[in-house]
């Protein structure tokens, strides 16, 4: 299949290439390459705009991930004018990407079926795809929503301010009695302009931006960013640093998965697991704090390696805490599977069928719970995951029960992985100096955060500074999956469906 | 006279403690220390001292809701005998008044909720009245069984009936209606598995959704009335499942306290060991309650 479309450049995760190596195609060829790739079971990891050397044009880049061949494909095209034909009708997974390009660069995807802003911010080019006058304020979630008309059809609006202490987002339900016909999610309340702030970097501040792209995925985003810098600077982090990064990433996964299972139990009113998992999540966060002093891993991942080393005493302590954490988690989580009233709530709630999950390009536990074998740690490995493999778990039903059970499977694998790494921690330095970044280059780094694929793409200018830095949080792929999963569900099941996805608002809003 | 005063004192002072016991039991199951037993009292006082924010879209109905609810549950509490003692107010057919006082409270709670025009409150009201359609007949069947067993149409005599006329013939119907009454108790007082009184998720709420816009003193009144309702329905249930009397006032009052607090403990245990039902499964549970009570009645009159 790949022989028939040699147009795209073939890359590996974390491989820096000269920008000239990325072919600039005609739009037709670009479009065909994406459609062919997706037809050949590849998926769109990123699709974004950047400045073009041609005056008045915008360059679009695409990153396709081929999980079966463990390869990445990248290509570009120049769009002149202020519009381009939309790919969404033939490739639904680019739906949000095209809206994002329209918002950031004022390029209208002609034929887009649901053409709305993503984050409700001004474009970077001064050109507005919706023709809004410059003096008109742009407010999140203001505008038309999909509407269902009819007898007994009613609309329920939830958010942006929620009852719990969570991030802001607006959910608009079209309901028939208790049944949800359609859910539309409007985000953008958390937009901070990180991608713009990253341009011109790296500066001493850049790593902190990376760490706070999505606070609960600090390690995943910081690792992706550091790999970008390391690839561009052609420096090789040490084996010890790679291992410690892997340990931190799995600890992050453990804390969040355990917290999610507790929160799911809490949402159905099942107290014991909710209480215990809330505490155990804290235990796992404290293990990360043992590594670096921060419960969320701030300051741990640094360009060139890690900021903190582990001594023998702390390794032993981490091993002890891990054993205790595993024991407690096993007891608390198994209560869920053994309580019929809990399973009655989880099973058949919010199903996301395999073909929909694939078509929407979902990633991470959401995709795996629907039966897609997709895990960056195996498919596009980097760092320690090249040497040490974690089995990929999948479930088939794609409902809340599957997403919950998958988390439990991953918890067990992650604990085993950390234990193995601690047993054979390589010796040596944990950090190497980082040189200047290569000019005029492009690099793509992927990591499997606990929510799924974290994708960073960096382009450097002639001085070796970032001219464009694209971040794709897994939530960006998965939010449409949540909207789909709610179809024909009861509105009272929305909280557990939402919790079973547990997507990031700020990771989406950037 | 002293017993009537004690009756009123128990009715006014004890209810929040039941909530405290339930919370404490749940905390114990969750491995936590939990809030103090008397926390519900502190909460009521705290809310009473707060200001009142009223939406401009609301009318007097919004304010009347909590007040009417409190008045009706207090009156209902005066119609039932507590422990081995007679009710302060009793007349033939007072069971009808008893049942419809709850209906009146529901009417005003749902009207006050609809008065705000909020989507959540409308949803909560719809759920409340839907489920009430099933729990109300169950309560009526249970009362009919008690009327038949005691041969009286006065709540005092009816509820003392199981204690006085306990024979093998009536055992089966009484067991059936006690199951039905327990489910009605859980549904009417918004406990698990029907409703989750501690949830913050508006979309899953039934009763809480209806009172989202009430705050301060009005919310305090609502919470207080809800706890009284728990005591009243719990007391009715206790007459059926634990019809024990010593015949001495100084023993019967402590016995009643132990029983009602024990019932709160049982509710706490139940809430700790199971998850909430899916909303569309709640009617099945209530139809179950209706069938238990209805079948009890059929057994008795066959």
Burial class (CB in 10 A: 0-12, 13-18, 19+), B8: middle
Interface mutation target, options B28, B203, B281, chain A, most CBs of A under 10 Å: B203
Average pLDDT over residues B11-35: 92
Domain locations in chain B as residue ranges = 2-301
Give the pTM. Answer: 0.91
Asked if B302 has any chain A CB less than 8 Å from its own CB, the reply is no
For residues A295-304, b (16+ Cβ closer than 10 Å) or e, as one string?
Answer: bbbbbbbbbb
> Are A269 and B198 within 8 A, CB to CB?
yes
> Are A275 and B32 within 8 A, CB to CB?
yes
Return the CATH superfamily for domain A2-110: NADH:ubiquinone oxidoreductase Nqo5 subunit (3.30.460.80)
CATH entry, A194-474, from 1.10.645.10, 1.25.40.10, 2.60.40.1170, 3.40.309.10? 1.10.645.10
Cα B49–chain centre separation: 26
Domain locations in chain A as residue ranges = 2-110, 194-474
Burial class (CB in 10 A: 0-12, 13-18, 19+), A313: exposed
Rounded to whole angstroms, the Cα distance separating B272 from A271 reads 6
Percent of chain B residues past pLDDT 70, beyond the cut: 99
Rounded to whole angstroms, the Cα distance separating B255 from B247 reads 11
Mean pLDDT, chain B, whole residue set: 90
> Are B29 and A271 within 8 A, CB to CB?
yes
DSSP chain B: -HHHHHHHHHHHHSHHHHHHHHHHHHHHHTT---S-TTHHHHHHHHHHTS-----TT--HHHHHHHHHHHHHHHHHHHHS--TTS--SS--TTHHHHHHHHHHHHHHHHHHHHHHTT-HHHHHHHHHHHHHHHHHHHHHHHHHHHHHHHHT-SSHHHHHHHHHHS--HHHHHHHHHHHHHHHHHHHHHTT-TTT--TT---GGG-SHHHHTTT--HHHHHHHHHHHHHHHHHHHHHHHHHH-----S-HHHHHHHHHHHHHHHHHHHHHHHHHSPPPPGGGHHHHHHHHHHHHHHHHHHHH-
Confidence of residue B179 (pLDDT cuts 50, 70, 90): very high
Average pLDDT over residues B191-219: 87
Nearest-CA neighbor of A93 among A123, A62, A60?
A: A62
What pLDDT is stored for residue A141 in this prediction?
A: 87
What pLDDT is stored for residue B165 in this prediction?
A: 66
Q: State ipTM.
A: 0.87
Point out which residues pair with A184 in neighbouring strands: A172
Asked if A172 has any chain B CB less than 8 Å from its own CB, the reply is no
Angle at CA of residue A419, ends A413 and A425, nearest 5° = 130
Backbone φ/ψ region at A139: left (φ over 0), alpha (ψ -120 to 50), beta: beta
Alpha carbon of A450: minimum distance to chain B alpha carbons (Å) = 25
Asked if B275 has any chain A CB less than 8 Å from its own CB, the reply is yes
A 10 A CB-CB count for B241 gives: 16
For residues B25-62, b (16+ Cβ closer than 10 Å) or e, as one string?
Answer: bbbebbeeebeeeebbbebbeebeeeeeeeeeebeeeb
Using CB atoms, pick whichever of B123, B202, B272 lies closest to residue A271: B272
Q: Of all helices (H) and strands (E), which one includes residue A263?
A: helix A239-267
What pLDDT is stored for residue B199 in this prediction?
A: 83
> Are A157 and B198 within 8 A, CB to CB?
no
Could you report the per-residue pLDDT of B24-56, keeping only the tens digit for each?
999 998 888 989 999 999 999 999 999 988 888
Q: What are phi and psi of A356, to 5 degrees?
A: -75, -45
What pLDDT is stored for residue A6 in this prediction?
A: 53
Low-confidence ranges of chain A (pLDDT < 70): 1-6
> Are B30 and A345 within 8 A, CB to CB?
no
Using CB atoms, pick whichever of B120, B203, B278 lies closest to residue A344: B278
Could you report the per-residue pLDDT of B152-167, keeping only the tens digit for each?
899 988 888 777 766 7
Interface mutation target, options A173, A175, A268, chain B, most CBs of B under 10 Å: A268
What pLDDT is stored for residue A5 in this prediction?
A: 52
Angle at CA of residue A127, ends A125 and A81, nearest 5° = 95
Asked if A284 has any chain B CB less than 8 Å from its own CB, the reply is no
Using CB atoms, pick whichever of A158, A274, A344 lies closest to residue B202: A158
């Amino acid at each position: 299949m790949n022989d028939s479309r040699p147009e795209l450049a073939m890359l590996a995760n974390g491989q820096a290439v000269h920008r000239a190596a990325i072919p600039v195609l005609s739009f037709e060829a670009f479009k065909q390459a994406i459609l062919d790739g997706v037809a050949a079971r590849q998926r769109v990891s990123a699709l974004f705009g950047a400045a073009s050397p041609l005056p008045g044009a915008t360059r679009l880049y695409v990153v396709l991930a081929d999980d079966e061949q463990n390869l990445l494909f990248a290509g570009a095209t120049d769009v002149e004018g202020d519009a381009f034909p939309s790919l969404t009708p033939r490739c639904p997974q680019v739906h949000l990407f095209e809206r994002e390009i329209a918002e950031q660069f004022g390029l209208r995807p002609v034929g887009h079926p649901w053409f709305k802003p993503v984050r409700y911010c001004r474009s970077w080019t001064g050109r507005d795809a919706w023709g809004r006058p410059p003096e008109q304020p742009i407010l999140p979630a203001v505008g038309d929503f999909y509407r269902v008309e009819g007898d007994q059809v009613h609309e329920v609006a939830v958010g942006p301010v929620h009852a719990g202490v969570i991030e802001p987002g607006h959910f608009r339900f079209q309901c028939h009695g208790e049944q949800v016909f359609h859910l539309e999610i409007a985000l953008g309340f958390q937009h901070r302009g990180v991608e713009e702030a990253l341009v011109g970097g790296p500066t001493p501040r850049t790593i902190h931006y990376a760490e706070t792209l999505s606070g609960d995925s600090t390690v995943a985003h910081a690792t992706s960013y550091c790999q970008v810098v390391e690839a561009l600077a052609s420096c090789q982090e040490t084996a010890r640093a790679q291992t410690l990064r892997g340990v931190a990433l799995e600890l992050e996964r453990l804390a969040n998965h355990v917290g999610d299972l507790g929160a799911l139990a809490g949402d159905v009113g099942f107290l014991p697991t909710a209480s215990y998992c809330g505490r155990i999540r804290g235990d796992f966060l404290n293990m990360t704090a043992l590594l670096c002093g921060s419960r969320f891993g701030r300051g741990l991942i640094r360009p060139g390696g890690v900021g903190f080393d582990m001594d023998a005493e702390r390794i032993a302590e981490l091993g002890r805490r891990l054993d205790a954490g595993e024991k407690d988690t096993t007891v608390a989580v198994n209560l869920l599977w053994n309580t019929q009233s809990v399973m009655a709530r989880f099973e058949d709630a919010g199903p996301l069928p395999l073909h929909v999950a694939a078509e929407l390009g979902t990633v991470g536990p959401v995709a795996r719970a629907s039966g897609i074998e997709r895990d960056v740690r195996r498919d596009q490995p980097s760092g320690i995951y090249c040497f040490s493999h974690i089995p990929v778990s999948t479930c088939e039903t794609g409902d809340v029960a599957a997403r919950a059970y998958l988390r439990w499977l991953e918890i067990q694998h992650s604990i085993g992985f950390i234990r193995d790494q601690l047993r054979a921690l390589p010796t040596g330095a944990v950090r190497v100096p980082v040189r200047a970044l290569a000019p005029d280059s492009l690099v793509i780094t992927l990591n499997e955060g606990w929510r799924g694929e974290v994708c960073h793409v960096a382009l450097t200018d002639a001085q070796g500074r970032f001219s464009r830095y694209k971040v794709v949080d897994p939530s960006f792929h998965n939010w449409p999956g949540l909207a789909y999963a709610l179809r024909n569900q009861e509105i009272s099941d929305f909280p557990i469906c939402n919790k079973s996805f547990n997507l990031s608002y700020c990771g989406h809003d950037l | 006279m002293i017993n009537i005063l004690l009756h009123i004192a128990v009715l006014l002072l004890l209810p929040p403690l039941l909530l405290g016991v339930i919370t404490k039991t749940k905390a114990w199951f969750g491995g936590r220390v939990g809030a103090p037993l008397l926390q519900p009292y502190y909460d009521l006082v705290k809310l009473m001292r707060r200001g009142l924010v009223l939406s401009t879209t609301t009318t007097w109905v919004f304010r009347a809701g909590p007040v009417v609810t409190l008045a009706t549950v207090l009156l209902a509490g005066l119609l039932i005998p507590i422990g081995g003692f007679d009710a302060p107010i009793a007349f033939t057919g007072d069971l009808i008044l008893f049942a419809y006082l709850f209906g009146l409270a529901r009417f005003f709670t749902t009207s006050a909720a609809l008065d705000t025009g909020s989507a959540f409150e409308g949803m909560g009201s719809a759920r409340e009245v839907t489920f009430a359609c099933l729990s109300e007949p169950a309560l009526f069947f249970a009362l009919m069984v008690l009327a038949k067993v005691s041969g009286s149409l006065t709540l005092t005599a009816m509820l003392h009936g199981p204690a006085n006329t306990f024979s093998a013939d009536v055992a089966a119907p009484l067991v059936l209606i006690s199951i039905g009454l327990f489910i009605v108790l859980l549904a009417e007082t918004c406990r698990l598995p029907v409703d989750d009184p501690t949830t913050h998720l508006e979309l899953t709420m039934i009763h809480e959704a209806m009172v989202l816009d009430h705050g301060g003193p009005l919310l305090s009144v609502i919470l207080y009335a809800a706890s009284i309702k728990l005591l009243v329905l719990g007391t009715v249930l206790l007459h059926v499942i634990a019809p024990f009397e010593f015949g001495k006032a100084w023993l019967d009052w402590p016995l009643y306290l132990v029983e009602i607090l024990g019932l709160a403990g049982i509710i706490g245990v139940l809430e700790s060991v199971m998850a909430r039902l899916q909303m569309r499964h709640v009617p099945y549970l209530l139809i179950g309650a209706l069938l238990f009570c209805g079948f009890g009645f059929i057994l008795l009159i066959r």
